Structure formats: structure tokens, C-alpha cells
Amino acid sequence: DGIGSQMDRVMTEEQWLQKWETGNTGFHKEQGHPLLRKYLDVLLNGRSGLRIFFPLCGKAVEMKWLADMGHDVVGVEVSEKALKEFFAEHGLPYCKEPVPEISGAKKFQCTSGNISLYCCSIYDLSSSVVGKFDGVWDRGALVAVNPCDRQRYVSLMITLMEKNSSYLLVTVSYDPSKHKGPPFYVPESEIKSLFG
């Protein structure tokens, strides 16, 4: 069946980097994602000054939007080009420094302080490096990770969440026999079994 045909599909880090290098980033939303605006109250739950995590953040404009509301935003992304474009497009000054705990990783820190973006594989992160989060905006991450890595991804995400954390997840619904992904099709039953 369609889902079965996607289960062994693998996108390499190089393929994702290539998408950024060639500007093949149809997944990037210039105006931000309407579902975040719609469900922002669910994510924030009346709280202010949250730490919010953007897995596989790309150059998501919502990072600036939430930072401007006074939240601390942390993202992770393999493409350095995407992160540099984020700061350039918003006119934000930043500094770049190595991450001692992760070989080869870089941290891009907005000089105004409340946006920190890690350039590395998400699987290199841990709560000892980035701390824990009050909210997660997973707009294109779970649907982008290789299906064989979903359990590993979700297990990591759970370790990064505070007790009363809100996790806002966007998935895509389509006939998986007609599109090979990414974004991959993740049925609701699988979401329930992954996150419990």
C-alpha cells in the first residue's frame, strides 16, 4: 500500500542541503503559517515569556514573530544558508559561535538575545545542550524526518518538553500511493502511538 511504500524512503542531509542551495524550498512560507495564527492560543495557553522550540526550522518567519511577542525561540536546522537568510531577511544582527558539546555544530545567536538557532542535525541535540521547552511548533518536521527515524525523533522531542508543554503539530493528509514524500504522510493513529 501507499504508506508501506513510504516507510523505507530516506532523504539524506545532503539532499536537504541541496534544496536550500538551489532554492527548492516550496515548503517555506513567506507569510508565515496560517495555522500558527489560528492556534496560537493553544500553543501559548495564556502564558507569556515561553521557551519555544522550532525543530527543522529552516528560515521560518514565525520565529521572529514569536520572539517579538517576548518569547525565547530556539531552532535547529542543518542548512547554514537557511539560518543566514533568516537573519538577513529580518535585518537581525547575530553572532555565530561553536557549540562545545556537538562537534562541528554552530549556534547563531540574535544579538537582541531571544533567538538562538543551532546549525546541526536535530539528533545531536539534547536537553543538556538546549534545555527544555514550554512549547513546540512542529510545522514541517515530523512529516520531513525519514519514516524509519520517527520513533527516534519523537523520543527526543519528548525529552525536550517541560511537564506542561504544548506541542502544536502540523501534518499533511493525502494519498501516499500518489506522492512519495517528503512531506510524508503520518496517519493520526501513528501520531497517537508515537506520542502516547
Q: Which residues are annotated as a binding site?
A: 16-27, 56, 77, 121-122, 139
Characterize the bridge pairing of strands 161-169 and 106-110: unpaired
Strand residue runs (E) in the chain: 51-54, 72-77, 94-98, 106-110, 115-119, 133-138, 161-169
What is the DSSP-derived secondary structure letter of residue 185? P
Residues flagged as binding site for S-adenosyl-L-methionine: 16-27, 56, 77, 121-122, 139
Element (H, E) at 19: helix 13-21
Quick count: other Cβ atoms within 10 Å of Cβ 70? 10
CA atoms of 146 and 153, how far apart (whole Å): 9
